[in-house]
Structure formats: C-alpha cells, structure tokens
Amino acid sequence: MSFTHPKRVTLLGSTGSIGTQALDVIRAYPGRFTVTALSAQSNADLLVQQAREFQPAVVVIGDEAKYEIVKTALAQQPTEVLAGPAALADVAGRDDADVVLTAMVGYAGLLPTVRAIRAGKTIALANKETLVVAGQLITQLVKEHGVGLYPVDSEHSAIFQCLVGEERNPIEKIILTASGGPFRGRTAEQLATVTKAQALKHPNWDMGAKITIDSASLMNKGLEVIEAKWLFNLTDEQIDVVVHPQSIIHSLVQFEDGSLKAQLGLPDMKLPIQYALGYPERLPSSFPRFSFLDYPQLTFEQPDRATFRNLPLAFEAMRRGGNAPCVLNAANEIAVARFLRDEIGFLQMPDLVESCLTKVSYLAEPSLDDYVLTDQETRRVAQELVKRL
C-alpha cells in the first residue's frame, strides 16, 4: 500500500513502558511514522530526551511543577512546551496528527481520548481504563465520529487480528488468556504476606508498576474483560478467561461453527503496538520469532476466582453496568497506589474495591460528567476506607 506522507503520531504517555516501546517502533520506520506530540506525567528528563530526538511540535508535562524544567531544557528547539491536564486534552485534539496513541496509565487517559475522538483522530488504545470507565460513551462517540479504534493490549490485539476478514461471521465467544502472574497457585494464606517486591516480578512481561500489580491480583484481566465487551460488542456471557502460563497464545475467538482462531507470539508488546500503528498493513519486523520447539508444552487452567477476588468483582461490575466499572477502576487505582506504598496488604486491595462498589452511589445511565464525579467520589470513599483497613 502506498502512502503520501509519514503517519503523524501523537503519543500520550511517552515515557512509560508502552510509550517507550512505541517510540522504538517509530524509530525503526523513519519514513513511515513521525511524532507530532509527546506527553509525560512527571518524567521530565526522559520527556526532554525524547523531544530532542523526535522534534515534535509540542510536548506536555502533566506535573505543572516541572514545566520550567522542560521549558528551559527545550528552549533552543522549536517545540512548544505545555503543562497540566487541560493542555493534555487540547493536544489530543490537534489537527496535525493522524493517530493518537493513548499510552497513559489509568483514569487520566479518559478525557484526552474523548477529545481525540471528537477531533476525528484514529485511536491506538493502550489505555484500557478509558473503555472500562466509560465504554458505552466511548463506543457511541467512535461511531458518531466515524473514527478507527485499534487496541494495543496484547489480548485485544490478538482478538482484533483474529477477526480481520470475519466481519460476516458472528462471534460465539472470546477467550482472554492470562499468565496467572507471579502468584499463580498460591493460597489466600500465602498471599496475606506477599510483598510489593514479589508482586512486581511478573514471570513473562516487562511492564510498569501499576499494570504489574494488577496482573498479580488478576485485576488486569478483569479490566480487560470489560474492555473486550465494548471493543467487540459482546454480551457478558460471551467472554471467558483461561490461565495460560506461557503467554504464547494471546487470546482466542470461537465462532458459531465451533472453530477457534488464536493469535500466537512471544510476549513482546512491540508487535501489537506496531500492528495498531500500521493497520491495515503488517509491517516487516526483526522481532524474535516464536518456535514451537522452544515451547513444547502450552498449558491451560481455570483462574482461581475464590482466591483472586478482583476477577469476579470485575465481572460483577460489568454485569451491573452504569458507573459500576468506573467505581471498580477508581477504587483499584487507590488500592494499588496504597499497596505500592506499603500501606495496605495484597489481600486488602480487593477488600477496598468491594467496599467501594457497595458504598458509592450507583448510576444506571451516566454522562461524561457523571463519570468524572463518580471517579472523584470513589477516590474520596476509598481514601476514607483505607484508614480503617
């Protein structure tokens, strides 16, 4: 396929795990992609380094206290420097981008993604929380503005790849695979004393702290379940989870005739990032190749929902709908932050999430403003509950 100019990419969250790997992909295709904007929350030094290399038109530092550091460091180059969440949302809707890759962590990605969709931008979505918090609203906006929404999560990329060419064939079920994390097979008694250092040692993936803890608690899989519902227009009953410790099969689709399609590959996020940025083309790569001889056994098992309670809590929030998934997400963000600060234990994270789902006001049909208020209310409630744990 021919192209008239490099695809212009706005990268939100450029200093995180997904962001830095996305820049590796862009770096490998200098004639295919160019960077128009970069953003980071607080890593000013890396943001400056990236801006000097990729020469974007604008950068945004979320932490306004670090604005002068970035501004001074980039004074000799023609890059506009902005700061704060309002600037981040504005940059997401700029005219000089073809695709916005949202690689921010957590709820913070929602409003910039909404702005990008309303501006008609193609979305490469690595921020699963956007669809968890406001899936119905986001899918309506995507349809209304006629934009492409391409998943970057390895599991959702796998499903997306399996569905290409199957537009006329209804899905019977999708199966999301989970590695099981570092604590697969542990009992609740054993989990009661695990440390954050142990939880941060994922067996297969190299990720940021938040998603690594979510993977250890199986909340990440719960969030992905909700994300999949909206991405692929599924009912709750059409989504299943299976533990696959090798992380080679990234997910599967079952069709009405019983046939299963799976996408396989080594656990490397660069491939789904590249697929989303290059879609509908598959760009050649030098990534390591998977060999069955290196993995003579691929195994599968049921997740332990009784021990890892975040997974059934996510399914329940999905079934309730409305603002319940927004509550789930906000409570989990507080729980993970407090766990990483050694203020609560591993098993107290689902306790906090469950309590918030009970205590925060339920809304069946929330607006965007309602989601914002729900997120704020849940964080207040969670902060108070932490004091009692």
Unique residue bearing structure tokens 């509908």: 280
Give me the sheet containing 99-102, strands edge to edge.
80-83, 58-61, 33-40, 7-12, 99-102, 122-125, 149-151
Unique residue bearing structure tokens 């400056």: 48
Distance CA 150, CA 140 (A): 15
Give the residue numbers of the binding site for NADPH.
15-18, 43, 127, 129, 208
88 SS3 class: helix
Q: Are 174 and 239 in contact (CB under 8 A)?
A: yes
Q: Are 371 and 133 in contact (CB under 8 A)?
A: yes
Give the residue numbers of the binding site.
15-18, 43, 127-129, 153-155, 179, 202, 208, 215, 220-221, 224
Q: Are 162 and 253 in contact (CB under 8 A)?
A: yes
Give the residue numbers of the binding site for 1-deoxy-D-xylulose 5-phosphate.
128, 154-155, 179, 202, 215, 220-221, 224
The DSSP bridge partners found for residue 255 are 171
201 SS3 class: coil
Single-letter code of the amino acid located at 204: N
The DSSP bridge partners found for residue 58 are 37, 80
How many residues does the structure list for the chain?
389
Give the residue numbers of the binding site for Mn(2+).
153, 155, 224
